A and B are shown apart, each in its own frame.
Chain A
């Protein structure tokens, strides 16, 4: 069975590793691009949120390359994502694709359904084997997220625009080839060092000297919002790169590995994470007293925590019409006003133009720089 899955940032690396390790033939869809987006927009429901449109584009691309089954995550609401797989199955079916959807959902009380699906995918391999595959994929994901984190530190101080990104690409390529948990860990450690070195940073991440033409001490901006939009550079128009090249350090609380830790691994095994989650919830409490699905509550809570960490501003990204993030975006201006923290909410979709986004980002960064210059800014960092 040739399987495929949707793209979301670094997800494809872990998914490919995991599924291949289970002995399946994996077809990775082409990375999201203008063409796959056009296909998605044409066939997806008009008012579906942006990630669904990209999903459809990914699937069509992979099915045209011969994929026969799709592995997709599900959900239990209230965010729309929980019904993605059903709608996507209908769209693909009406397009004439004969495809099987394997939907992995958080189990409602019993694990049987999920386990049966995993066993079906793995062709009856023993669960210990499946576990090993998951471990291996997980290591790669963690390493890759570390690379990304290093890149956001390196970009604002690099001398030559793009040098850190080049080191990142090289490291990621070597990571993709790493076979085995130990090799992955080693490549991960080396990669981080190389990315930081490419920008003239020591391993500790301390900047040596200010780079020419970039504000120093560098501005720090928190990036919050809906998981897909934060994690997928094509969807957010490479917002991290744009900000980084303007000399801004982007802090992201939500990497894919964090999401997995928060949502898929029971909290009892991770006291630190539980503390963090309740800290976010407590921070959001004065503005939002209830979860609203998706990452809505986290967006509000993390914004307030970023303020406490002394960030210069927060950027909030979400797909157009995203329900949880609309709630968050209604509350963030009020929170920003109370805290004296500039917050920029960006609702993005297929109509978002690059120049418009760059203009808004530049204006926002200018504002942050000026605030710092006139002394209203923070000295905390």
Chain B
């Protein structure tokens, strides 16, 4: 449904991007698009406990942590920018949805937060005709009073950046690296973003090659660092303020990380099509595909599924993934539920216990299955 709004923003006006939710999947596109329209982009500061607290005060109690953090990011931006960008992301690929909360997010933010600057709301719905990322982007441009030519150019610039971003992610780079590498020419550096981490930096050996070849021969785990399959929504995996620095902690514990974001769209499609019923959430598809693929290729020593407390899609997808993993392998699978009350100490204890278990399992590879299972559940 198109919203009939018109907003005149002069060249050089500052548009705020909240650093939360699908920002972690689409940031390069938004930046390319908005800068292509002659606007300047301001990204909200990194997620902090204070920011989450501020957001949680205005959001519903029942909302999940990433939504509360989104509120906080909008509040950071509201006095500092000329307009806030609040896309309504209904669907990013045909036959899928994002999540009901994202469908209602622009309305929730506008109703629950007062004194907002003008907001740019646009529907993106790949299930419908003329509402995909490209066409939605063009209609944003037109409604901001830009010419069709400029719109098209901005969209292709955004898509270009998005492609290079995805490529870097798939090659095993961290989000920070991939995002800043996606558009080298951009002037504003991403302030507050740290230099990439060791474990994320090296493309994992044996990771890309066997998948690309389609050869079922697994790469046997040799003497190497532990490898953890980190699956979940991009905004949970990549936002250290939400997951309390999970990635850094795991790397410090001596693990290499493979994330569900490293799967290409085609790989997700292939895995998904093999299911009796395809998952209709795009994130869920990706998580399930990652778990299936990592398990079949024996690429990881165990899974950590990062779940926001109360996440609807993950409560279903996680259950399917976990049960499948238990049934067809003896890989440990830990669902790590996070919310605004999660304490760093408790998280670290769980991660240490988990990695200790992985290390012990590897030390005794021929343990009969039963005792491993007992160890896992103990």
In the complex, are the beta carbons of B315 and A48 less than 8 A apart?
yes
> Chain B interface: which of A211-219, A326-334, A364-372?
A326-334
Residues of B contacting A328 in the complex (Cβ-Cβ under 8 angstroms): 104
Closest Cβ–Cβ distance, residue A28 to chain B (whole Å): 27
The count of chain A contact residues (Cβ–Cβ below 8 Å) is: 42
Q: A112 near B: Cβ within 8 Å?
A: no
Residues of A contacting B323 in the complex (Cβ-Cβ under 8 angstroms): 90-91, 94
Closest residue on chain B to residue A44 by CB atoms: B319
Q: A339 near B: Cβ within 8 Å?
A: no
In the complex, are the beta carbons of A323 and B101 less than 8 A apart?
yes
In the complex, are the beta carbons of A326 and B101 less than 8 A apart?
yes
Closest residue on chain B to residue A334 by CB atoms: B111
Q: Mark B78-109, 1 if CB is under 8 A from A, else 0.
A: 00000000001010000011111101101110
B111 contacts which of A45, A74, A296, A331 (Cβ < 8 Å)?
A: A331
Q: Mark A80-111, 1 if CB is under 8 A from B, else 0.
A: 10110111001100100000000100000000
Closest residue on chain A to residue B59 by CB atoms: A330
A77-B97 contact given A327-B103, A330-B104, CB 8 Å threshold: yes
Please, how many angstroms separate the alpha-carbon atoms of A80 and B319 in the complex? 13
Closest residue on chain A to residue B58 by CB atoms: A330
> Chain A interface: which of B141-149, B240-248, B274-282?
B274-282
Please, how many angstroms separate the alpha-carbon atoms of A45 and B108 in the complex? 28
Please, how many angstroms separate the alpha-carbon atoms of A46 and B62 in the complex? 16
> Chain B interface: which of A19-27, A231-239, A287-295?
A287-295
A80 contacts which of B3, B309, B312, B327 (Cβ < 8 Å)?
A: B312
Q: A49 near B: Cβ within 8 Å?
A: yes
Q: A78 near B: Cβ within 8 Å?
A: yes
Please, how many angstroms separate the alpha-carbon atoms of A289 and B104 in the complex? 8
Please, how many angstroms separate the alpha-carbon atoms of A326 and B99 in the complex? 12
A77-B280 contact given A288-B104, A320-B62, A321-B315, CB 8 Å threshold: yes
In the complex, are the beta carbons of A290 and B123 less than 8 A apart?
yes
A334-B1 contact given A291-B103, A293-B100, A294-B100, CB 8 Å threshold: no
In the complex, are the beta carbons of A326 and B316 less than 8 A apart?
no
Q: Mark B279-296, 1 if CB is under 8 A from A, else 0.
A: 111000000000000000
Please, how many angstroms separate the alpha-carbon atoms of A46 and B315 in the complex? 8
A residues touching B (Cβ–Cβ < 8 Å)?
Answer: 45-49, 74, 76-80, 82-83, 85-87, 90-91, 94, 103, 287-294, 296, 320-324, 326-331, 334, 347
B residues touching A (Cβ–Cβ < 8 Å)?
Answer: 1, 3, 59-60, 62-63, 88, 90, 96-101, 103-104, 106-108, 111-112, 123, 276-277, 279-281, 307, 309-320, 323, 327, 337
A–B Cβ pairs within 8 angstroms, 10 of them: A46-B315, A47-B310, A49-B312, A83-B277, A85-B277, A86-B277, A87-B320, A103-B277, A327-B104, A331-B111
For the complex of A and B, the 5 pairs showing the least CB-CB separation, nearest first, are: A327-B104, A77-B280, A78-B97, A47-B315, A323-B100
